[in-house]
């Protein structure tokens, strides 16, 4: 007898699908996957060499992460995010912030519970909620992809366990103002639910400031903050992220992580330690270069103003275009690869099924490839729509 798995209801990851189109179309410039072009700082490699000097590092280590990395993260949170980690909280090192989100969902829900996501959502968040046999409740953002507080409040039910915000945002690049994040955080406290704040792009802001909800007074017991080294430190394949959780969730998260992972990869943790000890100056220099590319991309996208809405995103390294066409985003994205050798991510995967949306990523581009890649994108959209 054939049983229907819960996984059949989960969307397929879009990155491998677009990757196959690219493989079949040599010479394609990718504006798809959200990565940076630069490598980790040399200090990360030096730290790995030191780690190999100690045979104990080839054995299992603490579920929560090695003490030295825990200490470095604590300092980073205090200095850069103004989050004072106290006895009311616990830092957990994870294999990337996607794992931190899965830890969160499993720790705070039971099957049938609801978690509020903003649309467009980050697709792995929606997938994780479904895998836990929970329901993602979708709340639309406004025309500039900003939070709509009245709609968030209206979406809360007795089954709601958390509200998720991503700022700076993937896929839109929007940065939420402090007052809006504070309003969400207070709403969560009043409703007795969690505020899950995904801050993987916390360093990537342009002309605005990043706000960490975990820094708000009185937020420690209901705020879960998720971070990653993948973006700022060029650490994507090393799989190191971390989460700051209320202390009362520590036992649950420990059970989950011990079952799935036992401990984060120790060699990667030492690399992360070296990167964090070098500090934010390394990232800031690289992000200044990305900001310059961002300005070029905005300028190059200007000819699409007659057929696309292009909100001027102030964070991360994405623009989320709404294209004036009846064509589906999946069809348009595939044709852009096959006919114009440029790859973007279709909006359906982010929950945007009413209209044609495309995510354009520029974090991995140098100025020359930005000119060529965006030029192909503009030419293709103008011709196809």
Write the pLDDT tens digit of every residue in 130-143: 999 999 999 999 99
Q: State the helix-helix crossing angle for 280-301 and 266-278, rounded to 10 degrees.
A: 80
342: containing domain: 6-40+281-384
Statement to judge: residues 11 and 58 lie in one domain: no
> Which residue, 278, 309, 341, sits at the end of a domain?
278
Q: pLDDT of 301-330, one tens digit each?
A: 999 999 999 998 999 999 999 999 999 999
Q: Are residues 109 and 84 located together in one domain of the fold?
A: yes
Residues 324 and 252 occupy one common structural domain: no
Look at residue 297 and tell me whether its pLDDT is greater than 70.
Answer: yes
Mean pLDDT across 88-99: 96
- Picking from 254, 278, 302, the residue at the C-terminal end of a domain is 278
Checking DSSP bridges between strand 160-166 and strand 114-119, what pairing results, if any? parallel
Contact call for residues 32 and 14 (beta carbons, < 8 A): no
Q: 288 and 266, same structural domain?
A: no
Residues 348 and 253 in one domain: no
The pLDDT, as a whole number, for residue 162 is 98
Let me know whether 74 and 18 are in one domain: no
Listed residues 233, 254, 278: the one ending a domain: 278
Q: What is the domain count for the chain? A: 2
Token reading at 87: 């006895």
Tokens read off for 122: 């980050």
Say yes or no to pLDDT of 1 above 60: no
Q: Quick one: average pLDDT of 241-265?
A: 96
Report the CATH number that the domain containing residue 318 is assigned in CATH: 3.90.1150.10
Q: Domain with 114 in it: what CATH number?
A: 3.40.640.10
Do 290 and 309 belong to one domain?
Answer: yes
User: How far separated are the first and last CA of the chain, in Å rounded?
Assistant: 47
Closest CA to 82 of 219, 235, 194, 236: 219
Cα 226 to its chain centre, rounded Å, is: 9
User: Is residue 1 situated within a structural domain?
Assistant: no
Give the model's pLDDT for residue 171. Answer: 97
Cα atoms found within 13 Å of the Cα of residue 62, Cβ hemisphere only: 11
pLDDT class of 15 with cuts at 50, 70, 90: confident
pLDDT of res. 4: 66
Residue labelled with tokens 């961002």: 294
Give yes or no: residues 151 and 204 share one domain. Answer: yes
Average pLDDT over residues 368-380: 93
Average pLDDT over every residue of 116-120: 98
**Shared domain check, 120 and 105:** yes
Residue pair 65/269 in contact (Cβ under 8 Å)? The answer is yes
| Residue reference for tokens 């909006």 | 347
- 225: Cβ–Cβ under 8 A, 6 or more apart, which residues? 81, 83, 197, 199, 212, 213, 214, 243, 244
Per-residue model confidence as pLDDT tens digits over 34-57: 899 999 999 998 998 888 888 888
pLDDT digits over 149-194, tens only? Answer: 999 999 999 999 999 999 999 999 999 999 999 999 999 999 999 9
Per-residue CA distances from 233 to 50, 152, 261, 295 (Å): 19, 33, 23, 22
Specify whether 268 is located in the same domain as 187: yes
Beta-sheet pairing, 318-323 with 342-343: unpaired
Dist CA 269 CA 261 (whole Å):
14
* Tokens representing residue 277 in the block: 């000890």
Mean pLDDT of the chain: 94
Whether 272 and 366 share a structural domain: no
pLDDT tens by residue, 197-240: 999 999 999 999 999 999 999 999 999 999 999 999 999 999 99
Confidence at 3, pLDDT banded by 50, 70, 90: low
């Amino acid at each position: 007898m054939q049983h229907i798995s819960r996984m059949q209801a989960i969307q397929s990851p879009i990155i491998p699908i677009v990757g196959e189109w690219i493989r079949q179309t040599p010479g394609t410039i990718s504006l798809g996957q959200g990565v940076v072009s630069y490598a980790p700082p040399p200090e990360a490699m030096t730290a790995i060499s030191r780690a190999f000097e100690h045979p104990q590092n080839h054995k299992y280590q603490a579920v929560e992460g090695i003490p030295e990395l825990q200490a470095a993260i604590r300092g980073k949170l205090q200095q850069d995010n103004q989050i004072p980690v106290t006895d009311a909280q616990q830092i957990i090192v994870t294999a990337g912030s996607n794992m931190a989100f899965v830890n969160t969902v499993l720790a705070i829900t039971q099957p049938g519970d609801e978690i509020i996501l903003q649309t467009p959502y980050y697709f792995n968040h929606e997938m994780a909620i479904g895998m836990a046999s929970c329901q993602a409740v979708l709340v639309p953002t406004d025309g500039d992809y900003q939070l709509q507080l009245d709609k968030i409040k209206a979406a809360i039910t007795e089954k709601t366990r958390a509200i998720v915000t991503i700022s700076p945002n993937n896929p839109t690049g929007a940065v939420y103002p402090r007052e809006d994040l504070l309003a969400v955080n207070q709403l969560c406290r009043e409703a007795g639910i969690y505020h899950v704040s995904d801050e993987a792009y916390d360093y990537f802001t342009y002309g605005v400031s990043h706000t960490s909800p975990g820094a708000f007074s009185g937020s420690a017991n209901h705020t879960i903050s998720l971070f990653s080294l993948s973006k700022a430190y060029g650490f994507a394949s090393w799989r190191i992220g971390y989460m700051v959780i209320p202390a009362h969730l520590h036992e649950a998260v420990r059970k989950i992580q011990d079952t799935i992972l036992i401990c984060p990869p120790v060699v990667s943790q030492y690399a992360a330690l070296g990167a964090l000890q070098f500090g934010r100056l390394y990232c800031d220099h690289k992000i200044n270069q990305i900001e310059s590319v961002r300005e070029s991309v905005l300028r190059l996208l200007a000819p699409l103003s007659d057929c696309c809405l292009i909100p001027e995103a102030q964070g991360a390294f994405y623009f989320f275009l709404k294209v004036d066409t009846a064509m589906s985003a999946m069809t348009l994205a595939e044709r852009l690869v096959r006919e114009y050798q440029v790859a973007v991510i279709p909006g359906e995967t982010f929950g945007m099924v009413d209209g044609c949306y495309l995510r354009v990523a520029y974090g991995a581009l140098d100025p020359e490839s930005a000119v060529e890649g965006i030029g192909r994108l503009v030419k293709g959209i103008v011709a196809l729509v």
